[in-house]
Amino acid sequence: MTTKTAPREGYAQGLLELGAQHKDVIVLDADCAKSNFTDRFRDAYPDRFLNMGIAECDLVGTAAGLAAMGKVPFANAYANFLTGRGFDQIRVSVAYSARNAKIVGHNAGMSAAQEGATHLPLEDIGLMRAIPDMTVIVPADSEEARKAVVAAYELEGPVYLRIGKLPVPDVTTAGTPFEIGKAHTMREGADITIASTGCVLYEALEAAEELAREGVSAEVLNVHTVKPLDAAAILASVGKTGCAVTVEEHSILNGLGSAVAEVLGEGHPVPLERIGSRDVFGLSGTLDELFDYFGLRASNIADAARRVVARKSA
């Protein structure tokens, strides 16, 4: 049976590892420390933790100031409010000013399932992806979240890190390669490329298993870095398979699907289908209910794969 762990668990562990090794790490939170698990860093290193209250703009501005002083701040808040209310400060005070600040959006994607449309961020990747020089990382599970926070510290410059709240299947291990800007091939295939980002990677792998039983060989890519996108890996895979499906727990507008479509449109046009939310707001429900509602299940991915393979063969 597949184990499940909340990505915020791995994120918290990564912060603790950084805190033990690097005294320049400062953690800021918008009064969500218990939910974000940043309270673990607070308890271990209280002199390097700041609760900014429910004030996302101030949170980002303070992080930018700390970065200007040579610190490496991790600014934590719910993803919808952080990227929405704090967009101007992220764009100008952090990215435009080339500050080495890490912006961490929690309760991201379908993890905000039971909190309703206003709290369900399905646009945050698009907002951050549009900002020049912003690196955008979307871990697939807890272990990858741990690796991502450490890698974000080591990368000089602004980073947006998207962290889920609810437990999701563990699909990577300590030995799974992780490098910012490099997609990882989770499963090799010859007939179709399935490019996934975030916790839907498990569903993509299950879809590949379903297709394999029908004689369709699917290559599954874990595209944990949406920006900079590993265009070389996408083009190499699609050059072999001739068609693709993208999967994300985010709007297909300006997310992974858009990024892959841009690369393929310019470099190697092939049949493509994008799976994600489609120009709609979220709604309340459980994580499982929203995965069903938005068509993010393995069966939905397999159906899309059959359609693009048929278009390739037509």
Cα dihedral 93/95/96/97 (nearest 10): 60
Q: How far apart are the first and last CA of the chain?
A: 39
**Catalytic sites, residue numbers:** 56
Cα distance between residue 88 and residue 245, in whole Å: 33
Question: What distance in Å separates the CA atoms of residue 213 and residue 231, rounded to the nearest whole number?
Answer: 29
Host H or E run for residue 154: helix 142-154
Q: Closest Cα to residue 161, out of 216, 117, 204, 224?
A: 224
Q: How far is CA 291 from the centre of its chain?
A: 16
As a whole number of angstroms, the distance between CA 101 and CA 181 comes to 18
CA-to-CA distance for 193 and 176, rounded, in angstroms?
Answer: 20
- Tokens 């470099």 correspond to 267
Which contiguous run of DSSP H or E holds residue 240? Answer: helix 231-241
Say if residue 158 is preceded by a cis peptide, omega within 30 of 0.
no
Q: Which helix (H) or strand (E) covers residue 24, if one does?
A: none
What does the alpha-carbon distance between residue 73 and residue 90 come to, in Å, rounded to a whole number?
13
Amino acid present at 8:
R
